[in-house]
Amino acid sequence: MHNKSQSCSIDSTLSVIGDRWTILILRDLFRGVRRFEQLRQDLGIAKNILSDRLSKLDSAGIIVQRPYQSNPIRNDYYLTEKGKDLSPSLIALMHWGDKWYADGNPPTILTHAKCGTALTQITLCPRCDIQVTPSEIASRPSEESPLKATR
């Protein structure tokens, strides 16, 4: 018998990033906030909670700490590639909140830096090259996945 985290990637992900403070810390890191005190002030978070969440993100390989001062030691915090891969998840949460809690007036619009166009988020079938709606999504055990053989 498998435990939940072994059989569900959502459960495994939430065990690392599944609380409010961690998601908001990640949001700020994506926005370019790098320093402990800047994070603390922007979020209004207690120092012990921020320190704990940053330590967990570092242990999980989602962020890396780089010293910018040696006495006392102070660090900047940067997303690793593993951390940067969380971007679509945060964008999905943001778009969901925009739809259901912003009354049609999102507080922030994400845009393509090059042309300024507001971004959308879709699920695309790479074989059919079409957008797939939630009602058109199915699942299967990973043993049947053609992607498994290529990894």
The whole-number pLDDT of residue 140 equals 86
The CATH topology of domain 4-84 is: Arc Repressor Mutant, subunit A (1.10.10)
> pLDDT digit string (tens) for 13-53?
999 999 999 999 999 999 999 999 999 999 999 999 999 99
**Chain mean pLDDT for the chain:** 90
Q: What is the pLDDT of residue 1?
A: 40
Rounded (10°) CA dihedral 64, 97, 101, 50: -10
Query: Structure pTM?
Result: 0.83
CB 33 within 8 A of CB 42: yes
Domain with CATH 1.10.10.10 in the chain: 4-84
Cα–Cα distance for residue pair 104/81, rounded to 1 Å: 33
Terminal CA-to-CA distance of the chain, rounded, Å?
Answer: 25
User: Around 70, how many Cα atoms within 13 Å sit in the side-chain half-sphere?
Assistant: 0
CB-CB contact of 17 with 23 (8 Å): yes
144, pLDDT greater than 80? no
Residue of 92 and 145 predicted with greater confidence: 92
Q: Could you tell me if 125 and 132 are in contact, meaning their C-beta atoms sit under 8 angstroms apart?
A: yes
